[in-house]
Chains A and B, each alone.
Chain A
């Protein structure tokens, strides 16, 4: 993958496959600490200790079409190549949390990527799931205060009622809302 957000999209798909009802994706760029971290937390069916330990193996997968599952192992490798790490916690019947972090300034650290499209893709494709997204940037001390964008699709869906999310006006709303929220964090904190 060429963007961290593509990895996050991939991990979120795992949450969907685990029949999660709520998925929370969080991204944090901590410039003073030089860390970029992200997490995907779901309330899906979870895994027992043995399965949890096995998912970092590329030859372990829950799919039947192929014998490899590269999503988690490749993300782990990407993090470790950037002085980072990947950690997972899970409880059968409760859910799973994946946390990954990178040294933000590492020369091999792939770009964060298109957060807006990633969240929009998930919200539209899986309207029955409650999607939460947090994007935080802690800037240099001189630049200013921490910026955060918190996205919760529940109040918006409550307002829209039974209109499908693929109605053009609704799509436009979600897209703009996400893009503006993300930009509102990046502009002051990253001086973009």
Chain B
């Protein structure tokens, strides 16, 4: 896939995107929320977010909503990422390095298997 550069390319992209078949997440759409409070940023949350977006881009995964949240009070466990796939439960992960983020994308988001090692119990 050639890199898109100009606004003209964007016009074409709009048409293609609506037709192209892409890798879909297990159980439909997924929501990924990355903690981006001061504590999260200091702990490396931007790199975590970068890894998630990079995965979406290279693996061509469609249907993922990525948002951010502020500090949820567990600063020592940052970077924190919350994942909800389809109608499944919201799982909160702690100490999510870029590598762990890639695992979560592969195992939880794409295959529906929660990465138990990094889950913060409710």
Q: Which of B1-42 contact A (CB under 8 A)?
A: 1, 3-5, 7, 9-11, 13-14, 16-18, 22, 34, 36-38, 41-42
Taking A9-B41, A117-B46, A161-B14 as contacts, is the C-beta distance between A17 and B4 under 8 angstroms? no
Let me know if A142 is at the binding interface, CB within 8 A: no
A-B contact number at CB 8 A: 112
What CA separation (Å) do A159 and B61 show in the bound complex?
A: 21
Assess whether A6 is in contact with B62, with CB atoms less than 8 Å apart.
no
Taking A124-B53, A171-B57 as contacts, is the C-beta distance between A6 and B41 under 8 angstroms? yes
Assess whether A63 is in contact with B71, with CB atoms less than 8 Å apart.
yes
Let me know if B64 is at the binding interface, CB within 8 A: yes
- Interface size of A by CB at 8 A reads 40
Shortest CB–CB separation between residue A120 and chain B, in angstroms? 7
Interface size class of B (residues with CB under 8 A): 35 or more
Assess whether B71 is in contact with A166, with CB atoms less than 8 Å apart.
no
Assess whether A125 is in contact with B14, with CB atoms less than 8 Å apart.
no
Assess whether B61 is in contact with A13, with CB atoms less than 8 Å apart.
no
Assess whether A169 is in contact with B46, with CB atoms less than 8 Å apart.
no
Say which one of A19-27, A34-42, A65-73 lies at the interface with B: A65-73
Give the residue among B14, B46, B56, B72 with the most A Cβ atoms within 10 A: B46
What CA separation (Å) do A13 and B70 show in the bound complex?
A: 8
Taking A65-B73, A66-B75 as contacts, is the C-beta distance between A160 and B10 under 8 angstroms? yes
Assess whether B56 is in contact with A168, with CB atoms less than 8 Å apart.
yes
Residues of B within 8 A of A74 (CB): 38
What CA separation (Å) do A169 and B62 show in the bound complex?
A: 10
Taking A164-B65, A168-B22, A173-B10 as contacts, is the C-beta distance between A125 and B41 under 8 angstroms? no
Residues of A within 8 A of B14 (CB): 159-161, 163
Let me know if B67 is at the binding interface, CB within 8 A: yes
Contact partner, B50, options A63, A65, A70, A117, Cβ 8 Å:
A117
Taking A125-B68, A156-B10 as contacts, is the C-beta distance between A169 and B4 under 8 angstroms? yes
What CA separation (Å) do A100 and B8 show in the bound complex?
A: 37
Let me know if A121 is at the binding interface, CB within 8 A: yes
Give the residue among B38, B46, B75 with the most A Cβ atoms within 10 A: B38
Let me know if B107 is at the binding interface, CB within 8 A: no
Shortest CB–CB separation between residue A14 and chain B, in angstroms? 9
Contact partner, A71, options B34, B38, B59, Cβ 8 Å:
B38
Residues of chain A touching chain B, judged by Cβ–Cβ distance below 8 Å, are 1, 6, 9-10, 13, 17, 63, 65-66, 69-71, 74, 114, 117-118, 120-121, 124-126, 155-156, 159-161, 163-164, 166-173, 175-177, 180
Q: A163-B14, A173-B13 are in contact. List 16 more A-B contacts (CB 8 A).
A: A6-B41, A13-B36, A13-B37, A13-B68, A13-B70, A63-B37, A65-B73, A66-B71, A117-B50, A121-B46, A125-B36, A125-B66, A166-B66, A169-B17, A173-B4, A175-B53
